[in-house]
Amino acid sequence: MHDEPLQPTPFAIHDRFGPVGRLLLYLSRMMAVIGGLIFVGLVAMSIVSIVGRKLFGFVVPGDVEVLQMCAAFASSSFFAYCHLVHGDVKVDFFTHNMRKTRVFALDSVGSVLIGLFGILIAWRTGVGALSVREAGETSAILGWPVWIAQALMVPGFLLMAAAGFYMAMHMFQMATESRTPPSPATPLPGEKG
């Protein structure tokens, strides 16, 4: 694992995560790659189903069910990585002229909220999956248990919560240390210039 500098934006920082942050970044990157591969597979399946239906009278059985179930848990795999690399949507209209330390403090509060939301949605998704499992609900065409797709969303939401709380601490540290991050053009110690 190595440090991954972020792309410069007006208020992004050149993060240097500690071991926990690098582990979270690695795990979230792997989850995002897995989610992306699932979406690539879903697109390929949809193309085969659509072209097959139009040209050959062939359809992938249960293609819509597979798409719905897999897209749900694949989508949850992107949130943590997005937050760790400052990729989430921020409206900086009000903070544009604030000192960076104040922006870092506000980002810290926002990250706490993301962490809390991640825990809440992981909890409710997990409870919902257990409820659906007890009911024995299956998909209409393939007969796949619906609860599995719901349960597969929980790890992504838990990782999002961990990323939120880690970034809250990281941004709070940036705010309290009142340090200005190095410019992306300036090499850091140990980097080649």
CB neighbour burial string for 124-163, b if at least 16 within 10 angstroms, e if fewer: ebbebbeebeeeeeebeeeeebbbebbbbbbbbbbbbbbb
When pLDDT is cut at 50, 70 and 90, the band that residue 88 belongs to is: confident
* pLDDT value at residue 16: 75
| 32 contact partners, CB below 8 Å, separation of at least 6 | 77, 78, 80, 81, 82
| 52 contact partners, CB below 8 Å, separation of at least 6 | 58, 59, 60
The whole-model pTM stands at: 0.81
Residue 93's SS3 state is coil
